[in-house]
Structures are given as structure tokens and as C-alpha cells.
Amino acid sequence: MVESQKAKETYMYEPPHRKWPRRLGWSIIILFLLISMSCIAISIYVGYQMTHPEKKPIDQLPSDYGITYEDISFMSSDKQTELSGWVLHPENSPKMTVILAHGYKGNRVEDNIPFLSMAEELIKRNYRVIMFDFRYAGESKGDMTTVGVKEQFDLLGAIDWTANHYDEPISLLGISMGASTAILSASQSDDVVSVVADSPFSDLEDYLKVNLPVWSHLPNFPFTPLILTLMPMITDLDPKEASPISVLDDVAPRPILFIHNKGDASIPYTESKKMAKQYPDYFTLWLTEGEGHVKSYQQNKKRYIEKIDQFFTKQL
């Protein structure tokens, strides 16, 4: 009996040099799980922050520029989101209404462009101008920004409102997210006769796969694939639904003027270039010299206005 007990104890004994590999293995597994959970938590947090950026106030009015205007409100074509904006009237009978579409994190004023300065120049040339806030921007309703996925319905709402109130042709001018949104909306509305797309992305998912660190300020791996995987689950936002390059067939033969700064580090000019070449008979590309995202107007104000005025006039 004693010998049997000793044999059992000898059998159960595990030398120290055999224990540490197993402990190390468990430590590695636990560390891996902790790192994975941390990456997932960071990705969820950053994804949420990107779709819920701080809203900028409307801190300028058209009257600051001596422009006659009226406040308007209308529904997004999703029939769920109320949007706010302005109609800016020229002194003479308008030849066209131009709807301005602002960028990500911006609002109808878009003071880094600035939109009111651009609107002033258009009004001098007898364009009626509509400026409005996309969902979750400025004074509009909505619980999140979707980088074009649902903003296309907001712009469709603005187009419908304009078509119901005015008889002149309608054109769109968008910058960055607003430029991509303008292409998406034009593909779904016969009321739009032309589009100026300043610094658009061609496909949101493909763009984010490469350029998300520009906006997230996180390393591409592992955060970009994690954010893109988790975003549709936690925000009801699917980047696949914002692909301007996939709807160009529905815009042509209506013309698009693509404008892009060669020194744009946020959305490379190649995004516009690959869309413009899809229909060279109808689409035009103007590449400007300089640095910065959506800075073509600031850096080439006179030429910019001349270009878009000539472009819009051809559609009359």
C-alpha cells in the first residue's frame, strides 16, 4: 500500500522545467486576448467618434455678405430626417439653381472653402443658390453622419424641394464627401442637369481601406479592417452603399466637372482621375496646382468661378 502511494505521488509529480512552457503558453494566449479586446474596443470607440463628430455651429449668415436669403426646411428623401438650409436669391431672374453640398464634419457655411464667398460669386452671375446642412450637421436633425451613405438621400430631398419650388434647371456643386454625394444623388434624379465634383472619393469602402488612417489617426493594421468590419454592425453604415464610380453610367451623358488639387493628401487626385476617364466625352477633369484638401477655390478663386460658370452655362 505504501509502495502504491509512493508510485502515485511519483507519477503526479511534474518537474519545474515542464511547467514553464505551459504557463508561458497560457500567458501568451491571455496577452493575445487582452490585446485583441483592446483593439476591438479602440476600433468601436474611434468608429463611433468618426460617425458622431462635434457639430460646428452656423456662425455666418448670407446677410453678412449683403445677400438676400430665406430660411428653409425640408425632409430628406428617407422621409425621416428634417433638414435646414437657406435659399439665396440673385437680384435678377435666375438662370439656374445651384445646390451646394458640404463635406464631412462641415455644414452649409463650409468656412474652410468658404461657401458663402462662392455663393456670392454665383449670385453675381444670376444663379440662385441653395445651401443646407446634411444630417447631423449644422441645424439639421439626424443622429449620425454616414459619409455619403445616407447623405445622398438628404441631397435628393434638397433636389425635390428645389424642383417643386422653381422652374429653372438644377445643378449640384459638392466638395469632398458632398462631391461624392452629388454624384450618387444625380444618378437617381432626372432633375439634375450637371454636377461639379470638387475632390470626391470614387468608392468609400476602397478609399477607406487605404486612407482611413488619415481620419482615424490609427495604424492601418489592425485598426482599418477592424473598423470597417465593426462599423456596419454598430452604426447601420455600410460603406459599400457609397460608390460614386459604380453609378456613373446613370449620370452620363449628363456632364460632370471634376476638380481636384494635385497636392491633396486627404483624398488623392487619382480618385477624380479614374472617374473622369470613364466617360471622357461627358466628364471633364481640372487638376489644380497646390497643396491641401478642397483648396482649389481658395488658391484659384477667379479661375475657379470662371470654370464653373462656363460649365454651368453650357447646360442652359
Residue 262 belongs to a domain:
yes
Sign of CA dihedral 166, 306, 192, 315: positive
Blockwise average pLDDT, block size 10, the chain, 316 residues: 50 58 71 76 81 93 95 97 98 97 97 95 98 98 95 98 98 98 98 98 94 85 85 80 97 98 96 97 97 96 98 96
Q: Phi then psi for 275, rounded to 5 degrees?
A: -80, -40
Residue 176 belongs to a domain:
yes
* pTM, rounded to two decimals: 0.88
Which residue stretches of the chain are H helix?
A: 2-12, 16-51, 115-124, 151-165, 177-186, 204-216, 220-235, 248-251, 270-276, 296-299, 301-313
CB 76 within 8 A of CB 160: no
pLDDT computed for residue 250 by the predictor: 98
pLDDT computed for residue 61 by the predictor: 97
Count the domains in the chain.
1
CB 244 within 8 A of CB 199: no
Hey, what's the torsion of the CAs at 184, 188, 190, 191, to 10 degrees?
A: -60
pLDDT computed for residue 2 by the predictor: 47
Residue 161 belongs to a domain:
yes
Residue 11 belongs to a domain:
no
pLDDT computed for residue 14 by the predictor: 59
Crossing angle of helices 204-216 and 220-235, rounded to 10°: 110
Q: Phi then psi for 213, rounded to 5 degrees?
A: -55, -25
* Domain enclosing residue 133, as ranges: 52-203+242-313
CATH number for position 280: 3.40.50.1820
Residue 24 belongs to a domain:
no
CB 282 within 8 A of CB 255: yes
Please give the grid coordinates belonging to residue 247: 453609378
Residue 217 belongs to a domain:
no
Cα–Cα distance measured from residue 294 to residue 261, given in angstroms and rounded to the nearest whole number: 7
pLDDT computed for residue 219 by the predictor: 86
Residue 31 belongs to a domain:
no
Cα–Cα distance measured from residue 305 to residue 273, given in angstroms and rounded to the nearest whole number: 21
Residue 297 belongs to a domain:
yes
